[in-house]
């Protein structure tokens, strides 16, 4: 199992690469609040056939040591250190939801590290309902959250898996992550991002609706936006074939 040791902590990541050719690109996937590398299983399997595809567990998530953060900038610092240790050449950074917030700040702070940017189910601001933060602050699990993660026709087994996964995550991790999201604000900095960017929204996403994606697309100069109609917030799990095809087409143009 691949771990990397940094700052006296061990951090977990999964990686896939082509068996019979050099990878065309390096793409690093960053999960959302309370998530792990498991959210990118379908992407690693598919995109790893042509590219070096890496999905990392953020500090305090999944199998990684360390503590979750209540500031997006702390995760950006972790990602920068991670990339310095593991990746030499410029790479494509893909982030979902909170991971998309991390990706935006990373692209703004370290543009020289990136050859491309993928922002999925995210926005320039990610305000969180006070009731959700309060629930996690009190040490409880906001079980209703799963109802907002998928589209209306999502298979029940996906919801069941998500419910079970949420039970394994400490409320403190969710509290920190959602606090970080709530503080996040890139509204005045988007026009400064010059990295070529793919924006993916989902037609049935009630957490980061399509208008969030349109806002990003209107302000990030070298960007293109696509929508997966029949999917919710967890579009990469719900409609992996469509999601992967959008990324593959984007990578072909870099």
Query: Residue 92 in contact with residue 254, Cβ under 8 Å?
Result: yes
Percent of the chain with pLDDT over 90: 94
Q: Is the pLDDT of residue 141 over 90?
A: no
User: Pairing between strand 3-6 and 9-16?
Assistant: antiparallel
In the predicted model, what is the mean pLDDT of residues 107-135?
Answer: 96
Distance CA 108, CA 73 (A): 11
What local confidence, expressed as pLDDT, does residue 15 receive?
A: 97
The 10s digit of each residue's pLDDT in 59-84 is 999 999 999 999 999 999 999 999 99
**Residue 161, token pair as written in the block:** 């898996």
Q: Is the pLDDT of residue 88 over 90?
A: no
* pLDDT higher than 80, residue 111: yes
Is 87 within 8 Å of 163 (Cβ atoms)?
Answer: no
**Stretch (H or E) spanning 30:** strand 26-30
Asked if pLDDT for residue 157 goes beyond 70, the answer is yes
Instruction: Give the mean model confidence (pLDDT) for residues 104-128.
Output: 98
Number of domains in the chain: 1
Provide the domain limits for residue 60: 3-252
Q: What are the tens digits of pLDDT across the range 171-221? A: 999 999 999 999 999 999 999 999 999 999 999 999 999 999 999 999 999
The counts of H helices and E strands in the chain are 9, 8
For 11-60, write each residue's pLDDT tens digit: 999 999 999 999 999 999 999 999 999 999 999 999 999 999 999 999 99
Per-residue confidence (pLDDT) for residue 1, from 0 to 100: 60
CATH of the domain at 170: 3.40.50.1820
| 54/156 Cα distance (integer angstroms) | 28
Cβ neighbours for 119, distance < 8 A, ≥ 6 positions apart: 94, 95, 100, 103, 104, 197, 198, 199, 200, 213, 216
Residue 151: which pLDDT band, with cuts at 50, 70 and 90?
very high
């Amino acid at each position: 199992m691949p771990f990397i040791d940094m700052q006296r902590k061990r951090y977990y990541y999964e990686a896939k690469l082509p068996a019979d050719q050099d990878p065309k690109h390096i793409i690093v996937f960053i999960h959302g609040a309370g998530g792990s590398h498991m959210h990118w299983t379908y992407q690693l399997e598919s995109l790893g056939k042509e590219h070096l595809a890496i999905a990392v567990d953020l500090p305090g998530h999944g199998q990684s040591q360390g503590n979750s953060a209540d500031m997006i900038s702390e995760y950006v610092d972790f990602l920068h250190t991670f990339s310095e240790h593991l990746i030499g050449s410029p790479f494509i950074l893909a982030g979902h939801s909170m991971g998309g917030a991390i990706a935006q700040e990373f692209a703004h702070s370290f543009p020289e590290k990136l050859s491309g940017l993928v922002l999925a189910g995210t926005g320039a601001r990610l305000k969180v309902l006070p009731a959700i933060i309060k629930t996690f602050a009190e040490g409880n699990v906001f079980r209703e959250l799963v109802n907002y993660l998928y589209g209306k026709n999502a298979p029940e087994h996906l919801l069941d898996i998500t419910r079970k996964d949420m039970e394994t995550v400490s409320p403190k991790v969710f509290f920190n992550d959602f606090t970080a999201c709530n503080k996040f604000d890139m509204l005045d900095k988007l026009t400064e991002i010059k990295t070529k960017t793919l924006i993916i929204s989902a037609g049935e996403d009630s957490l980061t609706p399509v208008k969030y994606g349109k806002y990003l697309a209107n302000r990030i100069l070298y960007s293109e936006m696509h929508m997966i109609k029949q999917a919710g917030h967890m579009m990469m799990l719900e409609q992996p074939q469509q999601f992967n095809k959008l990324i593959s087409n984007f990578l072909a143009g870099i």
